[in-house]
Amino acid sequence: MIRPGIVDPTAQRLVRAVYRQRTPADRIAERVVAVSAAAKLAVVTAHLAPGVVSYLLLHHAREPISRTLRIGEATAQVGIIMTSIMIALGGAALLAPRLVDRLPRRDVIAMLGLTRVDPAGLLIACVFAGVVLLAPTEWLYEDAFGAWLQGSWLALPSWHFQRTAAFSEIPPAVAAVALLANIVGEELWFRAYLYPKLAFLGGWTWPVAGLLFIAYHVFQAPVAYPGFLGGLALTGLYALRRDLWSCVLLHALLQAPV
């Protein structure tokens, strides 16, 4: 779909390359848009609730899990708590369209984009990753933001898996599974399933979705919030291409330095 006012042929070709053309999957997604006030509140809650649950479990369940399974606290946090939550998010994204939105199985697959691969989207994901990783926002603000939050409930405690030196003791296989679950689970839930529900926001959909995704990371706020460009890039890419696997690639590339 060519944007109005663009008449230059080169500009038109560029727009065609960046904006994915409308497909039947978009028409399916229109059927799940939140309309009532209750549905809109539910969508916002669905964005933020997993972060609150993660925060509570990391603070209150890590020690019992560590003692019961006789594993390190970092492994309990990453390998058990966070991995379980991410798998639950992915599973919820697969089940909710059927159970909540009453979509046929074929429409669920089409809306989520499980079988669609977008070469242009994958290329744009690489470009976005380069821009975000070269931007200085995360390392520029992380220390200052962490210091500002020090002493508050958002501060990272000494036992947190992103602060403790024990993070390096997590078995590589556990870390790999956790990373895969994190990337795929979040993209299925926040992009493929929840993003279409925010379409009632019109042109504000992608920035609001990005800010909600960033806010969800309350369980690691001092580290995640300064990297806000990554969250905006992920939702921006999905707004352009509506492609799950392009966002999975971008997410993986953004996680690579970690």
Residue pLDDT, tens place only, 184-216:
999 999 999 999 999 999 999 999 999 999 999
Residue pLDDT, tens place only, 54-82:
999 999 999 999 999 999 999 999 999 99
Lowest-pLDDT choice from 87-101, 124-138, 213-227:
124-138
pLDDT at 151: 82
Gap between the Cα atoms of 220 and 258, Å rounded: 14
What is the value of pTM for the model shown? 0.91
Q: Is the pLDDT of residue 88 over 50?
A: yes
- 59 versus 165: the higher-pLDDT residue is 59
CA proximity to 234, closest of 258, 206, 256 = 206
DSSP 152: S
Gap between the Cα atoms of 54 and 60, Å rounded: 10
